[in-house]
């Protein structure tokens, strides 16, 4: 299985901060990388697919980049509603599709 | 919108079979090119992809669960189902049904609200 490792596991930030989360794959996954946001007690929500494509309805302050094994999710100006846990997920080649362990974004 | 709703017992005894159904509303389960998936999340932990079914009935599974998992689709009812046999406490989790697209990246674009299944005697 392809292992996905996110860093950091958690971070504290203030409203208005620029936040970057990193996801590293154990082997090259081209650009088959998706990002999700999950709030407590809720299902995950798709933010970005195929590394950098913004899902419909998602604010433009979210952006993604990378290729191969190293990827980033950036929130350009953190808003109160962005405090949540973020997961990366790879869908390269054959299943299983695997997720990172999550990055919790907390209020400083 | 493609609402998905999980249903099934919230409590299952060890060694028994966990059975869940996902009902898709707001459109036919056969329209478009989608995979219908199950994902689970133990309390306070990360997400684990269990498997998926296409409307033709073809399936893919997580190898770690493959020997215990069955996923099927009933297009006449607009539903798909999960069965997980020989459950243990380690299978206690919130189970989500979801739709996975065939777009580049095959993202999971719609999720059910999730249902908690506890394995306990």
Measured CA angle at B73 (ends B70, B76), to 5 deg? 155
Mean pLDDT of chain B: 95
Q: What percent of chain B has pLDDT over 90?
A: 89
B63 pLDDT exceeds 90?
A: yes
Q: Which residues, in sequence order, are CB contacts of A81 under 8 Å at separation 6+?
A: none
Q: Does B116 touch chain A (CB under 8 A)?
A: no
Q: pLDDT of chain A along its 108 residues, tens only?
A: 999 999 999 999 999 999 999 999 999 999 999 999 999 999 999 999 999 999 999 999 999 999 999 999 999 999 999 999 999 999 997 889 999 999 999 988
Q: How far is A17 from chain B (nearest CA, A)?
A: 26
Q: How far is CA B7 from CA A34, A61, A93, B19, B120, in A?
A: 27, 36, 31, 9, 18
User: Using CA atoms, how far apart are residues A33 and A13, in angstroms rounded to an integer?
Assistant: 25
Band (pLDDT 50/70/90 cuts) for residue B105 is: confident
Q: Does B42 touch chain A (CB under 8 A)?
A: no
User: Using CA atoms, how far apart are residues B29 and B118, in angstroms rounded to an integer?
Assistant: 28
Q: Does A5 touch chain B (CB under 8 A)?
A: no
Question: Alpha-carbon dihedral of residues B101, B106, B110, B112, nearest 10 degrees?
Answer: 110
B2 pLDDT exceeds 80?
A: no
β-pairing, B69-74 vs B59-61, is: unpaired
| pLDDT tens digits for range B29-56 | 998 889 999 999 999 999 999 999 999 9
B1 pLDDT exceeds 70?
A: no
Cross-chain CB nearest to B49 (options A42, A97, A102): A97
Give me the pLDDT at residue A49, please. 97
Query: Would the CB atoms of A46 and B112 count as touching at under 8 Å?
Result: no
Give me the pLDDT at residue A67, please. 95
Give me the pLDDT at residue A103, please. 98
Q: Nearest Cα to B77, choosing from B24, B31, B117?
A: B24
Give me the pLDDT at residue B31, please. 86
Give me the pLDDT at residue A33, please. 97
Band (pLDDT 50/70/90 cuts) for residue B60 is: very high
User: Using CA atoms, how far apart are residues A28 and A67, in angstroms rounded to an integer?
Assistant: 8
User: Using CA atoms, how far apart are residues B101 and B94, in angstroms rounded to an integer?
Assistant: 22
User: Using CA atoms, how far apart are residues B74 and B88, in angstroms rounded to an integer?
Assistant: 27
With contact defined as beta carbons under 8 Å apart, do B41 and B26 qualify? no
């Amino acid at each position: 299985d392809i292992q996905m490792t996110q860093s950091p596991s958690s971070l504290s930030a203030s409203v208005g901060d620029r936040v970057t989360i990193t996801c590293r794959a154990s082997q090259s996954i081209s650009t088959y990388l998706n990002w999700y946001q999950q709030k407590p007690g809720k299902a995950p929500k798709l933010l970005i697919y195929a590394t950098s494509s913004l899902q419909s309805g998602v604010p433009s302050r979210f952006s993604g980049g990378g290729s191969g094994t190293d990827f980033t999710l950036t929130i350009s100006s953190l808003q109160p509603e962005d405090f949540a846990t973020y997961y990366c997920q790879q869908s390269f080649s054959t299943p299983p599709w695997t997720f990172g362990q999550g990055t919790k974004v907390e209020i400083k | 919108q493609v609402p998905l709703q999980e249903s099934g017992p919230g409590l299952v005894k060890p060694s028994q079979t966990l059975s869940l159904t996902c009902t898709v509303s707001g459109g036919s389960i056969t329209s478009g090119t989608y995979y219908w998936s199950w994902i689970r999340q133990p309390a306070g932990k990360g997400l684990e992809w269990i498997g998926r079914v296409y409307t033709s009935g073809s399936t893919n599974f997580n190898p770690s669960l493959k020997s215990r998992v069955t996923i099927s689709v009933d297009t006449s009812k607009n539903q798909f189902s999960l069965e997980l046999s020989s459950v243990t406490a380690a299978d206690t989790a919130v189970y989500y049904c979801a739709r996975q697209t065939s777009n580049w990246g095959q993202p999971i674009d719609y999720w059910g609200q999730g249902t908690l299944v506890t394995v306990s005697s």
